[in-house]
Each structure stands twice: as C-alpha cells, then as structure tokens.
Amino acid sequence: MLATNGVANPSGPQTYGFIPVGATVVQSFSFYASGSCGSTITPTLRIQDGAVNLPTNSVSFMVGQLLTVLTQSFDSVTAPALPSDWTTSSSGAEANWRTVNSLADTSPNAAFVADVNNVGISDLISPAFTMPPGFMQLSFKHRYDLEASQTTNTVGYDGGVLEIKVGTNDFVDITNAGGVFVSDGYTRVISPLFGSPLSNRPAWSGTLTSYTNTVINLPGTLAGQNVPVSLALRHG
C-alpha cells in the first residue's frame, strides 16, 4: 500500500502466494486516514508478480467522524449505587450488580457482581440508545474470576455473556444478532451438567486477573435505524 492520496503510515507489503484463476485471497492492511471529515482518501495498492510491476489498484473512502453515543466509567457515583440510567436485575441465588471501591480499572469504582455457589442470573443493563449510521464498535474493559474446569480449558461452569435487545424484542447473544468480536471474545463453553442458565453457550469463564479490553463490531443491520437498543452483561 502506497503512502499517498490520504494514506499515512501504511503497514508493510503482503505476500499472496500462488493464486489460482478465479480464486479469492484476503490479506489485511492498516493505515491512518489523513484528511478532514467529509473528504475522500484513495488507498492504492502496488501489485507485483515476482519482479514484474503490475498496474496499481485503488479504492476510495469518505473520511467520517468518530462519534461516541454511549460511554460509562461508573466513577461518577458513590458505591454501591449504579448510574441512574443503568439498571440491574437478578434471579435465583444471584445478587444485583453494584459499584465497589476495589478492583477498579480507573479510580474509584468498578461495576461488580459476586460469583455465587448456586444457580442464578444477574444482569447489568445499559440505557437504551439509537444506533448511528455507519460502522459501529463497542469496547469495554473487564476482569473475571468464574468457576471453570481445571482439566479442560474449553469448559466453563459459571460465565458471563454480552446480549443485545433491539426495540421490544428479547435480549439475544451479541454474536447471534450479527456482532463479531475483534478482540478478547468468549473463552469457553458453559457445561450443561450443573443447571446453569447459560448451559451450552460460549461465554467468558475461568480467571482473568488483569483487565482486558473487549472490542466487538456491532451488527451493521442496525446502523441508522430509529429503534432503541440496550446492551446487557449477563452473569450466571
């Protein structure tokens, strides 16, 4: 990729190897877009076949503006309260989510729910918001200490999942709704042997002692739709 036409600091060249006629091969490039909002940049690839230079290939993109529609650090309240527009609910042996003054990534608070020894569900639910047009990502930092198999690193007993609710529909797992994890997605599948409400579902499980940053591409089908969307971290 050439550092021209609005492309700055492009990543290095990629090797595609032998490509059969009609085949499709995908390689990734990264770069910084240099331009004002609403302008157009034109990333250009210089293609070589061995020592032979082939014609360049380019595609144009409009430069957009980064827009944050929902953010929360949980640091603006006095523990154990949650921010007024966030809600929590629980069932069975589980308790509600709350803020605590320990284990925080940023001082002073973290949202927290304990891992209990019996069956139940606890939900932390965001306020409803409307998806903006265009590409959308969700990111959040979390750590966890959840019961999991000590002998099989793909099996969990307790877990956490991310769910999304669109309009008046029910909450569904973010991956079932079309979301795709970019980093630090689910780590195990919850065992069906102990009655967990999350049985047979991929989830975060096991122990993570330091904060990790989970990033997920939100479903593109929701972009720009005038419907309220809520997100829930479900622990069970």
Segment 178-194, tens digit of pLDDT: 999 999 999 999 999 99
Entry pTM? 0.74
Residue 97 has pLDDT above 90, yes or no: yes
- Structure tokens belonging to residue 145: 């200490």
Three-state secondary structure call for residue 154:
coil
Q: Say what the pLDDT of residue 151 is.
A: 96
Burial-class residue 125 by CB neighbours within 10 Å (0-12, 13-18, 19+): buried
* Cα distance between residue 118 and residue 97, in whole Å: 16
**Could you tell me the sign of the dihedral formed by the alpha carbons of 223, 123, 157, 100, in that order?**
positive
Other C-beta atoms closer than 10 Å to the C-beta of 170 total: 7
Confidence of residue 136 (pLDDT cuts 50, 70, 90): confident
pLDDT at 148 over 90: yes
pLDDT at res. 55: 86
Cis check: omega of the bond before 13, within 30 degrees of 0: no
- In the chain, CATH 2.60.120 sits at 87-235
What's the topology of domain 87-235?
Answer: Jelly Rolls (2.60.120)
What pLDDT score does 156 carry? 96
CA angle (118, 142, 77) in 5-degree steps: 90
Q: Pick the range with the lowest mean pLDDT from 58-72, 75-89, 138-152.
A: 58-72
- Residue 190: its pLDDT value, please? 97
Which has the closest alpha carbon to 113: 162, 78, 80? 80
Percent of the chain with pLDDT over 70: 99
Mean pLDDT confidence for 161-181? 94
Q: What local confidence, expressed as pLDDT, does residue 59 receive?
A: 85
3-class DSSP assignment, residue 208? strand
The reported pLDDT for the residue numbered 233 is 87
200's CB contacts (< 8 A; 6+ apart) are: 189, 190, 192
Q: Which residue has the higher pLDDT, 12 or 204?
A: 204
Least confident of 28-32, 96-100, 115-119: 28-32
pLDDT for the residue numbered 7: 87
* pLDDT of 115 over the 80 cut: yes
Q: Which residue in 95, 91, 127 sits closest to 112, CA to CA? A: 95
